[in-house]
A and B are shown apart, each in its own frame.
Chain A
Amino acid sequence: MTYIAKPKFHHPGLKKNELGYTHRDYEGKISTLCAGCGHDSITASIIEACYELSIEPHRVAKISGIGCSSKTPDYFLGNSHGFNSVHGRMPSVLTGANLANRDLIYLGVSGDGDSASIGFGQFAHSIRRGVNMTYIVENNGVYGLTKGQFSATADRGSKSKKGVTNTDNAIDLVAIALQLGATFVARSFSGDKTQLVPLIAAAIGHKGASFIDVISPCIAFNNHAGSTKSFDYVREHNDAVNRLDVLVGRDPIAVDYAPGTVQVVEQHDGSKIALRKIDADYDPHDRLGAQTFLAKHAAKGQIVTGLLYVDPDAEDLHAHLNTVDAPLNTLEADTLCPGSSVLDKINASLR
């Protein structure tokens, strides 16, 4: 957590988005993470995505658990309410917040310890329920804040900085999210902003449970030879299924259409995702196919990145619960309380 004030002034010529906000309006406090941390790149991508989408910063609620990744909501969207909750419990807190006010954008930020170990259950169940959220795991395969213990996403056979070999099988959160019915599933790499920014933007536009696993090397404890989450390893083993751009009904964000292989997906909020296909056979609407594709590449030691699956017609938890359109937190006694005459009838029925 930072206590260093960030100067507010900025260059008068700084570019503004549709709402008149500059990049600076989407920033938060100065990061206190280690210099070069992958998480800071993800923070930058979140800022970029929100700026490009012209989101009103205060309409986002950013919720996290505990750990290095969970500190990051302090470093972006300074005008948003943030909630650094309990270790592994971000999903439940976010679910509750979402139920209270369906009109805000919910950004859940978590880490691999937070989501694959202590909070594995909550991760799973929030996905199952289809909570309308963007759930980002900043995955470094290591417990950074407690100095280098393996996390549950560390690959079997990978080596810790101290030279210990991990003998436990790894959990692939992307595979699990697909299996549990997430309606937007993606993986990216903190060092690949070009891929990550549109993924985050598309996930925010998605009305349902969006999950993005972002491999984010821990430069202090998991960026050495023998690690499978280091910058070098991920760059060498990355196999992108697609590149995408998000079009939000205004000037397209410099889309660099790759000829012949562009697929446009329109989401519920009207935003369009343009997928520039790298693997011509890849179909992001096929959940089963995505699972197979993922498993096949994992067997080859390849880390698949890109948008793996999206259901543009997804429904969220509010739809399942058939809740009223007005946020529940705006309802008052006049609409919530059945009143004394009903109570008299209830009393009469209990005699």
Chain B
Amino acid sequence: MSDKKPLSSVNDFVVRFANVNGSGSASANEMFARAILRHGVPVSPRNIFPSNIQGLPTWYEVRVTEDGHLGARGGVDMMVAMNPQTWDKDVAGIEPGGYLFYDSTKPMPSTKFRDDITVIGVPLTAITNSTYTDPRQRQLFKNIIYLGSLSALLEMDPKVIEQLIGEQYKGKEKLLSSNVHALHLGRDWALQNLKCPIGLRVKKSDKVGDRIFIEGNSAAALGAVYGGATVCAWYPITPSSSVAEAFTAHCKKYRHDPETGKAKYAIVQGEDELASIGIVIGASWNGARAFTATSGPGISLMTEFIGLSYFAEIPAVIMNIQRAGPSTGMPTRTQQCDIIACAYASHGDTKHVLLFPEDPAEAFEFAAAAFDLAERLQTTIFLMLDLDIGMNHRLCRPLKWDDAKQYDRGKVMTAEMLEEGRDFGRYLDVDGDGIPYRTYPGTHPTKGSYFTRGTSRDRYARYSEEGSVYADNMQRLVRKFETAQDLVPRPLQANAERPTKYGVIYFGSTSPAMDEAIGLLEARGHQLDRLRIRAFPFHSSVASFLAEHDFVYVVEQNRDSQLRQLIVNENGIDPVRLVPIVHYDGTPITARFIAKAIGDHQDHLKVTPLRKAVS
């Protein structure tokens, strides 16, 4: 049947499941990914799903990667085609020599297949129908049955999957045993009727180490718990809703007073994003740590309040789980497309602090740090995740917390300080860092009250439209932003083995693909120094990096190379030296894409001097 030699690989391949959403496939697919992890082999799974609840196509892709490349790879080595709707496209997407796994209960015409792939049919529907009578059971167990068949085909240890099932259905014996039964139905059928294993195999390894497997949104929510957030106001929007839902779940576990059972947090689902950010601003103004989680359209709505937070200097933490815009865009597709919208959110002159975590571990750390930064700087801090980090399980280092750490509540003047006669000017720069003192409402009967407003005012919070008073305040805000530079996470630099005049800047979820691309580029003979930006305002090392290299590629997941624009704008440098490498079709960026784009440009650069020599 096959014109091409079947692919052969151990612990390095991509399996893609094509399902119909609402069919219960997600948990079986996730169990497949976890089972491989339990073999000690890193995986990087990704949900590719529609903005819909039932009936539309959905895919789950698992990259099995002994080398630990956690970015998307591109291409599919084995397609588990469970959705007739997308059959043609799914079959066409398989790499030559790859494998097609399908439900062979109903015969398919040969034109529906390809000659250069290995076709594996398992009569899943027939097996399920002969075993189960309840339609819902038929549907759910079919997923476990294909998991069983795959375990045989890929030579996975069934004990590992059984153990996972045991953990998932702990205490629910009936469900546990019926799932294990379904697993073996599929596995036994494959072992008896098919050539097992195929060319793609999972072999036990030790490359996972102590790493954990967690979604970025859940990690960020946990960061908010550890960072001391007590108020969360949010409005449901994909792909951010699971942040608030995870925060709710974490708080239920860790934030109830053991004696009274009362909650040490307040979560409000707002009527919209305006109310959500309003609640956050009100709570922060009153001295609580508060945050909201949203995505692009929510940011657009919150913009007026973000300007107030900047100008009236009220802390706020906004987690922006970015998705493809503009407008409704592609709600379930990933992008890094709100960099400019967040950096300069609001009318008038504003600048905001952005944090760019690369994975769930950093999402946890930065989320917790965001509350310190918000209170220290008395302004909005954006935690810039995206769908790729937020809604996918990602292998990352374990989360860490230092128990000696106290929260930095920033410059807050207390009743005692006021009693001592300290001069309180709400917008008075006493320390030269641009950061004034604030008081919480209700602090002192006669001292320290002030009127917060979005209108211009003097250093003592008295209304003023004097040009010089206004400019004085705006200048101080610039000073404050300069102070922020040294407080936010610094960029991380990794240099090539040999000195090079080429560099690359990247951030956020691009990280694993970039790391992998460096290897591919080195194989092509290209040496690149790397700088991973982790925050805006940019640390001075960004300018140094730019100065040290002739050309710097800026790799990002949006059309208009927004980070590059920000770098050019904030550093006043020649844009020609910053080469945009952009990927923006809504799929996660891949190493292959980066290596090709940078490699082609490098090849092109090396031709140029020769032409000059000829002329």
Contacts and interface: CB of A to CB of B under 8 A. Distances in A.
A129 B282 contact: no
Among A74, A85, A332, A333, max chain B CB count under 10 A is at A85
Contact of B264 (A84, A86, A100, A328): A328
Interface string B426-469: 00000000000001111111100111111100000011100000
B398 interface: yes
A335 B226 CA distance: 10
A129 B401 CA distance: 36
B247 interface: no
A337 B364 CA distance: 13
Contacts of A325: 260, 262
Contact of B288 (A101, A343, A344): A101
Contacts, number: 235
A89 B399 contact: no
Interface stretch (A75-83, A281-289, A306-314): A75-83
B262 A58 contact: no
Given A122-B275, A338-B254, A346 B222 contact: yes
A95 B278 contact: yes
A334 to B, nearest CB: 9
A97 B284 CA distance: 7
Given A56-B445, A99-B283, A328 B401 contact: no
Contacts of A351: 37, 208, 210-213
Among B264, B283, B286, B288, max chain A CB count under 10 A is at B286
Contact of A340 (B288, B402, B441, B442): B402
B265 interface: yes
Contact of B400 (A74, A99, A343): A343
Nearest to B402: A340
Binding site of B, secondary structure by majority: helix, strand, loop or mixed?
loop
Contacts of B305: 86, 89
A301 interface: no
A332 B401 CA distance: 16
B279 interface: yes
A86 B316 CA distance: 15
B442 A58 contact: yes
Contacts of A94: 282
Interface residues of B, number: 75
Interface string B270-313: 11101111111111111110100000000000001100100000
Contacts of A318: 266
Nearest to B461: A82
B93 interface: no
Nearest to A78: B449
A342 B254 CA distance: 9
A321 B453 CA distance: 29
A339 interface: yes
Contacts of B281: 85, 92-93, 96
A333 B211 CA distance: 26
A95 B282 contact: yes
B225 interface: yes
A17 B228 CA distance: 40
A19 to B, nearest CB: 9
Interface string B385-422: 00000000000001111110111000000000000000
A327 to B, nearest CB: 8
B267 interface: yes
Interface residues of A, number: 64
Contacts of A95: 268, 275, 278-279, 282
A146 interface: no
A323 B266 contact: yes
A6 interface: no
A331 interface: yes
Given A81-B441, A122-B275, A340-B403, A58 B230 contact: no
B231 interface: yes
A95 B403 CA distance: 32
Contact of A333 (B261, B272, B407): B407
A336 B264 contact: yes
Given A104-B441, A346-B399, A93 B279 contact: yes
Contacts of B592: none
Nearest to A329: B287
Contacts of A201: none
Nearest to B266: A99
A237 B444 CA distance: 45
Contacts of B271: 121-122, 124-125
B348 to A, nearest CB: 14
Given A100-B282, A332-B407, A333-B407, A58 B233 contact: no
7 contacts: A3-B462, A3-B464, A58-B446, A81-B442, A339-B403, A343-B401, A350-B213
The 4 closest A-B pairs by CB, nearest first: A96-B282, A92-B278, A100-B288, A81-B441
Interface of A: 1-3, 56-59, 61, 63, 73-74, 78-86, 89, 91-101, 103-104, 121-122, 124-125, 129, 317-318, 321-325, 328-329, 331-333, 335-340, 342-344, 346-347, 350-351
Given A93-B282, A337-B228, 13 more contacts: A56-B445, A80-B441, A81-B439, A83-B282, A84-B455, A89-B278, A99-B283, A101-B441, A103-B442, A329-B283, A333-B406, A339-B403, A351-B37
